[in-house]
Structure 1
Amino acid sequence: MSKVRFARADYNLTGMPQYDGNPLIECLPKILSDVDVVRRIGHMPPRPDETERALDPKLRGHGINRMKDVVVPFHIHLRLEDLFSQLIRYGYTGRNPLHASTVRHRLPSSAEIKGHGFMSTAETLTLIGLSGMGKTTALNSIAKLYPQVISHSKYKRQIFIETQVVWLKIDCPHDGSLGGFCAAFFSSLDDALGIEKYSGRAGTGRSISVMLQRISQLCKAYFIGVLIIDEMQHLCSSRGGKDREKLLNFFVQLSNDAGIPLVYVGTNAMLPLFSGVVRNARRAAGMGPIAFDRFPEGDPYWAHLVSQLWSYDWTKTSVPLTGRLVAKIYDLTQGDTDFLVKLLQLAQRHAIWENSDSITPALLQEVYDDQMAILHKPIEALRSGDPLQIADFEDLMPTKDQIAQMMNYDLARRADRSYLSLITQAAIAPVMHSEKAATKPASKPVIPVPNEPVPTAHFVEGVDVQTQLEQRGWVDKESAW
């Protein structure tokens, strides 16, 4: 079991009338300013100094792994934290434990709560984006701003003994099965509470419907503030689509009946899950989707990220980051943060093994050619800018293109249905007038080529990129730690 993140309830007024008087909200940490969020979720492990660069090559190789722990906050992190904060707090407004409707709502028998005034205030947040762009890392950092479990004993001189699970995160099973989801939920709840009580239920022969009902009751019993469901794209591979539809229906029921806010997290490959069923799409768009797409070339925020990672250099001689290096790095990673970290780590290990003094554009190209060959096809697809090539890797397709493809497919499908309907009507109704033969519309999905200008940033050769960014006001010194 992992270390339990328990906290004793400490109640503080928020100043918001819809929140005050609700112990489930007053016990939460204060609502953070943007500056506080940057300081709390940003993480810059110790950078190597000259002493560390002089260590044995084997030791320096271990230091390179610290680069994976770097978290550089951007505006999208601030937006995500703000919506996550609203999601939890507003979701609790409909579940005030001091209200009679909430007490009745938590009763085991659903028949006892019908018509007793409970109304869900749960919303849904959808976090989508390219593989490797830091969605899960960002969400984990934000969730950890809250204690996972809060223990209550007394509220305003009233006995109030409850255990509140503020957030619970589970991964969709790789096969998208109902049984796998139930097992993941029970295991995650046990892990949060530091017990071994519920995880054995998944293997005791209970029916899926009974386990799903039990999940709903546990969400009510522990006042779960938000359920985070990661790797949602796995539902697209569920057997025959039967489990997929049942799970999506269960999520809607959990939000409506149990009042539990949901966070859907996955690559763009999960978007078709919300096509065709209005209530699924409506839920997914609840608080507006947040998309982690790759950085465009010339984006100053990309240059800032590269600059921060560049300072973690364990080669013998640390060289300044130039515009030429930034351009080369972008060409070999195409704005994907995971590819960026891999390239820099592999380049440093290669330089250390080959006893090279520093990293150069030629060394980066050599590492890309030799050690990143397995990634060439997706990177070349991104480099081409051709939507048809990018569509071969659906978890790399830009979010807006994935949505456009899905919408065009649905429009074509509806057109096919309309065409079929006309054929049927013509077959059963008498022909009163001669008509021209109708032509069946094409149903091939069309992916629009993005035509939006991207911001550019021209850097002076030979001058440190971070210094140029600060001079132009794109980043400040404090944000660079």
Structure 2
Amino acid sequence: MKNMRNSGNSVLKGEIEEAIYKEQILLEYNRNPFIEALPPIFSEDDVLERFMVKPRISQQDKQSETNIRYHVLKRVKNFTQPLPIHFEVERRLSTLIRRGYLARNPLDKTFLERIRVLHELRENEVVAHKYIDERLNYIRSTADSLSIIGISGIGKTTAIERLLLMYPQVIKHQRYEKQLFNRTQIVWLKIDCPYDGSLSTLCKSFFKAIDDLLGTRYLEKYGYLNRVTSTMLLHMTSLASMYGIGVLVIDEIQHLLNAKNDQEEMLNFFVTLSNTVGIPTVLIGTSKAQQLFKGNFRQARRAASDGAIIWDRMAADSEEWQFFLETLWELQCLKQSSELTEDIKKTFYEECQGITSVAVNLFILAQERALFDESNESEIITSRVLKKTAKEDMKIIQPMLNAIRKNNIKAMNEFEDIMINLDELMISHKQNTEYEGRVKDAMKERFNTLQYKRQEIIESLSYEIASLGIFDNLVPNDIRKLVSKIVENQPIESEYNSLKFDAVENAMALNQKKKEQKSKPISKEASLPLLMLRNKALEKKKHPYELLKAKGFIKPIIGELL
């Protein structure tokens, strides 16, 4: 699903789950509740399934009236094809989260020591930020950082969001190995760097993101107007540690270049978060973001301790581009299917330069032009149609595309988002080449299976229903689950509109149910269990200690010491 964000809210939200602990294949991941509660390490098939989204355009759709087909064409915006770089990012993210938890095992005394130190620092918050590195320096960190740099529209954000949503966002722990273990774990948090590069605004975005997830009031408590930025950073650091955040993803990092004074401070904060507090970070930005790390070796090293992924456009002669275009070309909704000739291939690349979002939009706009062009009665996509579409409908991005097309370094400097380190790209391309054939073969095999056809319908329906924007209480995975249940219980030849009607009806019912659950007042017993136990003990004329111990809230001291 492309529309993964909640309507009216720029913060990506995932699922909330109760902890289910799984046996670990790797010894170092054992006896760590934060790791054991995660999904198993994903296979390449898992990633392939998540990224393979080919919208459904039926023969019936193609025979519809022109005005209907205009709407059908918008489904193509949801088209996503797995690329070698998606597998690379998934592997990095998977290890980043798990290895970051190695030194933050909540069963280990150093985890509690880290939280204790941060709590002490918060007590003297005026000067505490100066000593945070020194106070936590003796506690080891296994956290790494990752930077993903690439031109606008290449698919960085879409990819990282799809990968994050493969994990639950919040895991509620109750008991671990028959012992009480009340803890809330935030596996991932993604926020955007503010446009003005303000560190204060970033902190407030962080507090608000946690409030939206957990129903807390940290923004009100720590983010008021006259709050000193360094103090907010301390609270942000403390919350990140307390909730065991698995990875903090900061998108649009190039906005730091707009900061007047905070740029250096924010980069130092990312270093502290990863190197001292132990929270892995992923920094995502356009090519302009490379300037942030010039001249500061410490920051550059920490921002890419697990390597920097340079994400470039697809090359015209690459296997991944050829397969991408062939697959995209099948999503036509015209009276007559246009042949993908060598001339059209050449023109198409010339007009989009291998940038995925530009390619998809060019394909949609060219079909729209063919639909409403009276001189094109047969509705065929030709090289002339592609060139005219690019020139007239995509006029605003032509200066940037021309700079790329002509490899004009001087012109590229005017559009810093498209500058890429060519030496690093050569390395990245060599590393990825081996995956191209394997991804292509796997996709072709899946396109012919019944399961894929069901998956195709599920993805298309999920996207359309989420795009309605009327289900405020449902996260994308809620919609996907109910759609999957409907599609899998119906014959493959079922009418698409009938499935859609059932899905909307079910989504409305589930949305209402969740709305009612949210409005129910939380019982005092559920919110204050220790206070309720104390009151029960007093009613029975017993000391609260006895009841707390009987219920497992107090551990035997001798046993713990031994």
* Corresponding position of 2:226: 205
Structure-2-length-normalised TM-score = 0.70
Identify if the C-alpha distance between structure 1 residues 258 and 116 changes in structure 2 by more than 3 Å, giving closer, same or farther. Answer: closer
* Corresponding position of 1:478: 445
Structure-1-length-normalised TM-score = 0.81
- Say yes or no: does 1:322 pair with 2:335: no
* Corresponding position of 1:41: 51
Q: How far off is 1:31 after superposition?
A: 0.4
Q: How far off is 1:396 after superposition?
A: 0.9
Distance in structure 2 (CA, Å) of the matches to 1:261 and 1:73: 25
* Count, aligned residues: 417
Q: How far off is 1:118 after superposition?
A: 2.2
Q: How far off is 1:44 after superposition?
A: 2.2
SS at match of 2:232: helix
Distance in structure 1 (CA, Å) of the matches to 2:348 and 2:62: 23
SS at match of 2:29: coil
* Corresponding position of 2:384: 362
Distance in structure 2 (CA, Å) of the matches to 1:4 and 1:234: 25
SS at match of 1:109: helix
Distance in structure 1 (CA, Å) of the matches to 2:318 and 2:381: 22
* Corresponding position of 1:183: 204
- Say yes or no: does 1:311 pair with 2:330: yes
Give CA-to-partner distance per residue, 1:168-192, whole Å, 9 cap, x none: 0010000001121112111222223
Contact persistence 1:129–1:399 (CA under 8 A)? no
Contact persistence 2:145–2:281 (CA under 8 A)? yes
Q: Which stretch has the larger CA shift, 22-31 or 279-288?
A: 279-288
Letter in 2 for 1:304: F
Letter in 2 for 1:332: E
Q: How far off is 1:154 after superposition?
A: 0.4
Q: Which stretch has the larger CA shift, 153-162 or 284-293?
A: 284-293
Structure 2 residue aligned with 1:140, among 154, 161, 164?
161
SS at match of 2:305: coil
Distance in structure 2 (CA, Å) of the matches to 1:383 and 1:87: 36
* Corresponding position of 2:34: 24
Q: How far off is 1:301 after superposition?
A: 0.7
Contact persistence 2:63–2:335 (CA under 8 A)? yes
RMSD: 2.7
Structure 2 residue aligned with 1:384, among 395, 400, 406?
406
* Corresponding position of 1:214: 235
SS at match of 2:414: coil
Distance in structure 1 (CA, Å) of the matches to 2:136 and 2:289: 36
Distance in structure 1 (CA, Å) of the matches to 2:246 and 2:89: 16
Q: How far off is 1:203 after superposition?
A: 3.2
Structure 2 residue aligned with 1:265, among 278, 284, 287?
284
Letter in 1 for 2:108: H
Distance in structure 1 (CA, Å) of the matches to 2:297 and 2:21: 40
Q: If each structure's helix is expressed as a fraction of its own residues, which one has the higher value?
A: 2
Q: How far off is 1:475 after superposition?
A: 7.0
Q: How far off is 1:271 after superposition?
A: 0.5
Q: How far off is 1:167 after superposition?
A: 0.2
Distance in structure 2 (CA, Å) of the matches to 1:203 and 1:369: 49
Contact persistence 1:229–1:265 (CA under 8 A)? yes
* Corresponding position of 1:65: 74
SS at match of 1:152: strand
Distance in structure 2 (CA, Å) of the matches to 1:115 and 1:264: 23
Distance in structure 1 (CA, Å) of the matches to 2:59 and 2:334: 10
- Say yes or no: does 1:296 pair with 2:263: no
* Corresponding position of 1:415: none
- Say yes or no: does 1:162 pair with 2:190: no
Letter in 1 for 2:28: Q
Letter in 2 for 1:198: Y
Give CA-to-partner distance per residue, 1:131-180, whole Å, 9 cap, x none: 11000001001111100000000011111010000000010000001121
Distance in structure 1 (CA, Å) of the matches to 2:422 and 2:210: 35
